[in-house]
Structure 1
Amino acid sequence: MQNRRRFMSNSAAVASAVAFPLVAGAQPKTVKVGVLHPVTGALAYSGQQCRLGAQLAIEDINKAGGIKSLGGAQLEALLGDAQSQPQAGAAEVEKMNEAGVSAIVGAFASAICLATTQAAAKYNLPHVVDVGVADQIVERGLKNTFRFG
């Protein structure tokens, strides 16, 4: 019985000693977030303002220690331009998915949001709509789509 306790105690000590450098040296991962707005075309001014707001929010979150529930993971913005066109917005979602984003925020205009949320739904990629107000955006039953306010 004494040998088993000593074995368990020594095993725990060795496991802790081996694992500690891995835990201590572990860096929080980076979480890629797609920031998608119409920064060119007819809606460029408003889209640029929305993009700036998203970038400032990400900067504030990172300065405050990142995502606490993920061990301080930092956010990394992957910027996209919907070019004030729904089709261009949907194409940007495809690129963002290929780049490995964890979620998308933005799209601004309702017509663009309808296209981008549908494109993101193919991958079950969370999409937070920041401005688009058409009720259809959230009433279609897409499980990946959320809207502010």
Structure 2
Amino acid sequence: MKITKKRLFDFCNENNDALNELQSQSDSTGFVLSTLIEQLKDLGVIDKLGDEPSDIEKVELTGSDLTAQIMIGQRYQAAFVSDKSEDDALKHKRTALIDNVYKNGINERFRAGLTGWIYAIPINNQGEPLTATDVGL
């Protein structure tokens, strides 16, 4: 069974603390990925991986999903934010420094100081939206 992006993110959000601990114990992204794949198999999220275990890696993360994934491995991320949509965040370029991602946020998913936002598009220090490739995902 091929894993969906939503299911992978649900798993990552549910296991955020464990993933952070695992990542802090290893400098090897490959090790972290292989351990994550094994955990997904153990939990029945995926049945097996074929000859190309890179199926998970091929998921092109964008927008708020990319911000949530980036925040698993770091403490802060600059982003364009909005409560309306990702398109609105890109259009108005309201900038915030994301410092937390809520696992079960209903009215807000990303925290920037004392303010919560539903959508957050990660940006670099020139204010350009980041891609998964830019951040090594």
TM, length-normalised to structure 1 = 0.28
Q: More helix by proportion, 1 or 2?
A: 1
TM, length-normalised to structure 2 = 0.29
Give the greater-gyration-radius structure (CA).
Answer: 1
